[in-house]
Amino acid sequence: MNHIKQITPITIRDIDFTVSRQIEQCPKTMMLRELVMNAVEAAAKAPSGRRIVEIKGKAVAECGEARKLAIWNTGPGLSSAQLDHICDLAASLGKDMALEGNFGMGAKVASLPSNTLGMRYRSCRDGVVSQVILGKREGVYGKVWIPVEDSFEEVVDVTEQVREEGEYGLEEDWTEVVLFGNHLNQDTVADPYDGDPEQDRQWITTYLYHRFYRLPAGVEIFLQEGTHPRDGRRQFKSIPERSDAFGRVEAVDVGEGVRIHYLYDPPYRDGGHNKSISGSLTSSVSNAAIVFRAEMYDARKGRKWAADAPAFGIPFGARHISIHVELPDNFPVRHEPYRRFVQLTAGDQRPVTVDDFAELVFRNRPQWLVEIISSLAPKSSASTEDLRKELQDLLNELRLKTKSPREAEGGLHLVDDGGARGAQRERGRGAGGSGGEAQISPTDLIFNPAGAKRANISKNLEQAPEIIPLRDAEDVADKGITGKAARYVRETNQLFVNLNYSAVAAAQENLQLRYATYDDPELVRELARQWSEQLVMGRVGYAVVYAQAKQLIREWTPDDVKKALEPESLSLAADGWRDAVSSAYRSISRRLGAAKSPDDLEEMEVSPA
């Protein structure tokens, strides 16, 4: 019986519009990744010892004297027919045509919006060099016609021209792409996106450093002078290749093929840089990222990483500590089509971020790293310890009995640890982990059922937070609370209090004015400072404890508690310091001998202003 066709395929009527939409939806900043990845994959197929990628700036005849960015590789060359073929959208040669593969549409799609004037491909195969220019003319993306004799061609033979230029030989295969930009005089080395967005002078090396975690065996990337901030021709080295430039590095296996890389980069010569800056092409800024199939995703650096680091068990020293969570190739994620992020392969296919592994990072910190973090932390004062004990007593009064660890005289008393949904117990201990704790499955951390909470968060609800006062403006900025009173990190149960917050200064001024007539102004100033800080720490500390208690007794949902613990909410609590100032009046009055009578004390309590 003959097969009867039962469907008519959907066709695209306005192909120009569809192609333009596909191209212009791609983020422009993915351009360098796509071009370099194509060059790296091609170079990996070259003979051993000649697997080279060169990044350079050069003038080309088509564009006059303006410098244009060029990327050249020694991979197998393309014939004129093959070069013509790969110019089609989503066309590729020798690649997996699937979302999980690097299937070939990326370089064209990511590059053309920033190179409407043209991007020139030249490829040498068996001594013959073919050329094609892709660009945009009259609103249409495609192959630019090149006049040849009495006609126009899309793909042309430029072998003789290349021989005359003398830049490349014809005895081995190679491929080069040159970016013309959007206009003739655009310097596409310094200004690859025509000012939107602007780039600094080391944008190429910075991008490579925070994207390519490993290169295929034998592949070398070189940057010619002018494409990096130093002099001469330099070789790009990925982070693992530069491990000896750091103070200490350790990789910890945490199960299911997941490895967490902990890197400590100590200060360089007591300056503002880290040790790895010495001899480096790029910055030494510490970072956190997911590593999947040799590429970095969700890379966080600078202030963003410093603000997020406390949730990973790094309350201090984030500017010197990097965290890279490397996933195995078979982990249940894949990169999205434009390769901006990785996402789950099942369920809602949400993006996977480095935050999903914060508890794994926290639990598996090597002991040497814990010691470094402790050495960088400000020392707790007696006042903060007394306040924490006071808060713990209050929490004990407020909470109901729950099946979870509870504070006891000798430490934590484990009762009935039900654990968080999505967390699994495993026997033994992982490298770098704490011996007595249940191990967390990496997959379960990102496939949490709705409403599931991490086990340690539940435990932290029953313990008053550790209070860490911050006086240094840079520490305050690193925690993301400039202009705010405090930040509570639930994962580690730490409360960072900004003692530069306006409420502290207002309370101190109030106290100093109240006792301005006392004959020892230095003592008044010191007592006012101590009490103003204590008032604000107490106000935000009480706010955290009341929020914890609300969830423990199930009056509030976890989302309600989260809102109450936001820096903005804690700032409002700090602004209410006047409600608690009477205790400061009484203490200072006793210390100074200023309280003359019960009437005076009563006046102090009801008239805090």
Judge whether 421 lies within some domain.
Answer: no
- Residue 607: the pLDDT is 36
φ/ψ of 22, rounded to 5, equals -60, -40
Its pTM stands at 0.80
- Residue 346: the pLDDT is 83
Please tell me the distance from the alpha carbon of residue 575 to that of residue 420, in angstroms, as a whole number.
Answer: 35
Q: Are 296 and 397 in contact (CB under 8 A)?
A: no
Query: In the chain, how many domains are there?
Result: 3
Judge whether 256 lies within some domain.
Answer: yes
Same domain, 199 and 295: no
Same domain, 204 and 351: no
Same domain, 60 and 197: yes
491 contact partners, CB below 8 Å, separation of at least 6: 310, 311, 312, 313, 358, 359, 362, 454, 456, 457, 460
What is the identity of the amino acid at 87? C
Same domain, 28 and 146: yes
Any idea what DSSP says for residue 246?
S
Give the tens place of pLDDT for each residue, 259-305.
999 999 999 876 678 888 887 787 788 999 999 999 999 999 988 99
Alpha helix ranges (H) inside 412-479:
442-446, 455-460, 473-478
> What's the average model confidence in pLDDT over 61-68?
93
Same domain, 89 and 196: yes
Same domain, 273 and 306: yes
Domain end (from 216, 234, 252): 234
Give the tens place of pLDDT for each residue, 92-148.
555 543 334 433 346 888 899 999 999 999 999 999 999 999 999 998 889 999 999
Q: Are 429 and 439 in contact (CB under 8 A)?
A: yes
**pLDDT at position 168 over 80:** yes
Same domain, 252 and 311: yes
Same domain, 359 and 392: no
Give the tens place of pLDDT for each residue, 334-393.
988 888 999 999 878 899 999 999 999 999 999 999 999 989 887 766 678 889 899 988
Domain end (from 376, 394, 426): 376
**pLDDT at position 9 over 90:** no
Range of the domain at 585: 383-402+462-606
Please compute, for residue 185, the number of CA atoms within 13 A of its CA located in the half-sphere on the CB side: 0
**pLDDT at position 319 over 80:** yes
Domain end (from 361, 376, 391): 376
Please tell me the distance from the alpha carbon of residue 206 to that of residue 409, in angstroms, as a whole number.
Answer: 52
> Average pLDDT of the chain?
84
Q: Are 531 and 384 in contact (CB under 8 A)?
A: no
Same domain, 29 and 138: yes
The CATH number of the domain holding residue 41 is: 3.30.565.10
